[in-house]
Amino acid sequence: MRKILLAPLCALVTVGVAACSPSGPDQANPELAPRGTTMTKVKPTRQDLTTKLSIAGKVEMNPTFGLVAPVAGQVRYFDVPAPNGTPTKPIRVATVWKDQTPNYVEAPAGSTFSGRLVDDKATVTAGMPIASAKHVGYALVGDIDGQQAYKISGALTDVTAQIKNGPGPFPCTVLGTIAALPQGTIPEKPPVTQDNKDGEKKDQPQQQPQQQQPQQQPSSSTGLRIVCSAPADVQMINGATASIEVTTGKAAQALVVPVEAVAGQQGKGKVDVIQPDGSRRTTDVVLGLTDGKVVEVKSGLTGDEELAVPGPNLPEGQQQGGDQQQKPTGP
């Protein structure tokens, strides 16, 4: 029986063909494509955008928190008498004067004034802790790091909490701010006001026998924290773990693009706009909120553009926003 041997296909190639490929011409691996390679195109869209930050916390009894200056100016303290019980109304503890206008600082109801954190008549900046207060009873306390602090600064109006294996989610009312007493601080107590012989009032140190003077203990470190109280019908157990969610920003019908299409994350950024002839034009944009998937473009785009994904690749040494780093000059 005659056998017919079929030569392998690769052996039949003519001289000049470099190699045999099982699938025709070499195909580039998309995963290895450089950043400047256009993989796809996207157009900006509009959507409601809400950004949130989750913080690990726990239930504490009588936590200390800070009260901050609402504006930049000069702080003037009030003499706050010792309460006879748990205050049911806010207590005015200081005034920050700016442009001859008073801006009051109050300890919320259910808390007591603990002390001053700066000197009377000191010049303070907006958001600077100037007084310490202590919540009476249970509250939720969440410790935060520096990056989280910048994200939630000024965004403490919409807070929700969930106690692990317990009640929630429920709205959590913020009592103070993200900073209170540093390690080892002894809060300054305001002087006791007494009447003198002329009927005028003057500030005098509290006169007590040495053995009767209460010993003020240095505070423990509170670091950066958020302190909020739960509704009255929520059962709290001291030490229970919880998750505190802070809404850091909201934007209605924001112009958004995928984060992959943008070089930069906050403030200024850059995108590659695809021109009709297929070329790219790198464009500066101003960025806003981001949820990790999309980022708000506040200016720089009309919404009709087509953008390249991935976005532009910033050169080495170029800062976010396109500003070149300044190199030292001179010897």
3-state secondary structure of 270: strand
Q: Are residues 69 and 149 in the same domain?
A: yes
- Do residues 97 and 170 both lie within one domain? yes
Are 145 and 242 in a shared domain? yes
Residue 86 and residue 178 share a domain? yes
Query: Binning pLDDT at 50, 70 and 90, where does residue 222 land?
Result: low
Are 57 and 175 found together in one domain? yes
**pLDDT at position 313:** 78
Distance CA 180, CA 139 (A): 15
Residues 6+ apart with CB under 8 A from 205: 191, 192
Q: Which token pair is 193?
A: 């006001």
The domain boundary residue, chosen from 232, 247, 262: 247
Q: Which two tokens stand for residue 79?
A: 């003499």
Buried b (16+ CB within 10 A) or exposed e, 75-101: bebeebeeeeeebeeebebbbbeeeee
Asked if the structure places residue 3 within a domain, the reply is no
CATH number at residue 76: 2.40.50.100
* CB environment 195-207: b (16+ within 10 A), e (fewer): eeeeeeeeeeeee
Q: Are residues 173 and 241 in the same domain?
A: yes
Q: Report how many domains make up the chain.
A: 2
Query: Could you report the per-residue pLDDT of 139-152, keeping only the tens digit for each?
Result: 999 988 777 777 77
CA–CA distance, 280 with 276 (Å, rounded to integer): 9
DSSP string, 114-175: EEESS-TT-EE-TT-EEEEEEESSEEEEEE--HHHHHHHTT--SSEEEEETTSS--EE-EE-
Look up residue 45 and give its two tokens: 């869209």
Place of tokens 């943008």: 262
Which of the two residues, 177 and 203, has the higher pLDDT score? 177
Q: Does residue 45 form part of some domain?
A: yes
Tell me: pLDDT of 253 over 90: yes
Tell me: the pLDDT tens digits for 22-37? 444 444 444 444 555 5
Look at residues 255, 265, 285 and name the one whose alpha carbon lies nearest to residue 273.
285
Do 102 and 159 lie in one domain? The reply is yes
Cβ count within 10 A of residue 57: 26
Question: What is the β-pairing status of strands 129-135 and 64-68?
Answer: antiparallel
* Mean pLDDT (whole number) for 228-246: 94
Compute the C-alpha angle 131/212/189, nearest 5°.
10
**What pLDDT, in 10s, does the model give residues 275-320?**
998 889 999 999 988 888 999 999 999 999 999 998 887 655 444 4
Is 15 domain-assigned? no
- Measured CA to CA, the distance from residue 76 to residue 279 in angstroms comes to 62
pLDDT in tens, 179-208: 555 544 555 555 444 444 444 444 444 444
135 and 117, same structural domain? yes
What's the rounded Cα separation, in Å, for the pair 159 and 48?
19
**The pLDDT of residue 43:** 93
The CB density around residue 49, as the number of other CB atoms within 10 Å, is: 21
Residue 146: phi and psi, rounded to 5, are: -60, -40
Band of pLDDT at residue 52, cut at 50, 70 and 90: confident
* Ramachandran bin of 121, using left for φ above 0, alpha for ψ from -120 to 50, beta for the remaining angles: left
CATH number for position 298: 2.40.420.20
Give the C-alpha separation, 256 to 43, whole Å. 9
What value, to the nearest 5°, has the Cα angle with vertex 212 and ends 209 and 213? 90
Residue 61 structure tokens: 């009894």
Please report the pLDDT score of residue 327 as a whole number: 42
Nearest alpha carbon to residue 293 among 239, 257, 252: 257
Same domain, 44 and 78: no
Confidence of residue 155 (pLDDT cuts 50, 70, 90): low
Q: What residues make up the domain containing 160?
A: 52-183+219-247
Q: For residue 318, give the DSSP letter.
A: B
Confidence grade of residue 115 (pLDDT, cut at 50, 70, 90): confident
Query: Last residue of a domain, which of 247, 266, 294?
Result: 247
More confident residue, 157 or 180: 157
